[in-house]
Amino acid sequence: LHIYFGVTIILSLMGWTGLARVVRGRFLSLRDEDFVVAARLSGTSELKIIFKHLLPSFLSHVITSATLAVPGMILGETALSFLGIGLRAPVVSWGVLLQKAQNFQAVAMAPWLLLPGLFVVIAVLAFNLVGDGMRDAADPYASH
C-alpha cells in the first residue's frame, strides 16, 4: 500500500508541470480580456475577479488537460510495475500482470496473459478520445 501511494506521488510530481503551464498560459491570456478589464475598472477586488470571472472561463481547459494527463499516468504506472520498480506481485496491476507475460513460453501456454496489454491500450485510447472530445467542446473555434 505504501508503494502504491509512492508511485502515485512520484507520477503526480512529474506530471503537474504540464497542467500548471496550461493554467498559467490560459490565466495570462484571460487577464487582458475586456470583461476582466471592465471588472477591474468597476472596482471589483482581484480575488473576486479570479473566482467570478477567470476561473469559470478556463475551468473547462483545466478539466480537459487533466483528462488528457490520465493516459500518461496509466502508462507510467504500468511501465514502472512492468519493470519491477513500481507495484509488486501481491498487488494487482496491469504492469504486474504484463510482467508475467514476458516469457514467450508462458504466453504460448496461456495467451490470456496478453489481455492486460489490450486493456491498457483500450484505456489509454479511451481517455485520449474523451480528452480530445472535451477539448473540442471547450474550444470549438480552435483549429487543430
Per-residue pLDDT reduced to its tens digit, 33-67: 888 889 889 988 888 888 888 887 777 778 877 88
- Which three three-digit cell numbers place residue 137? 467542446
CA angle 11, 17, 23 (to 5 degrees): 130
Fold of 2-138: MetI-like fold (1.10.3720)
Phi and psi for 104 in degrees, rounded to 5?
A: -65, -40
pTM of the model: 0.68
pLDDT for 1 beyond 60: no
Closest residue by Cα to residue 74 from 62, 59, 87, 64: 87
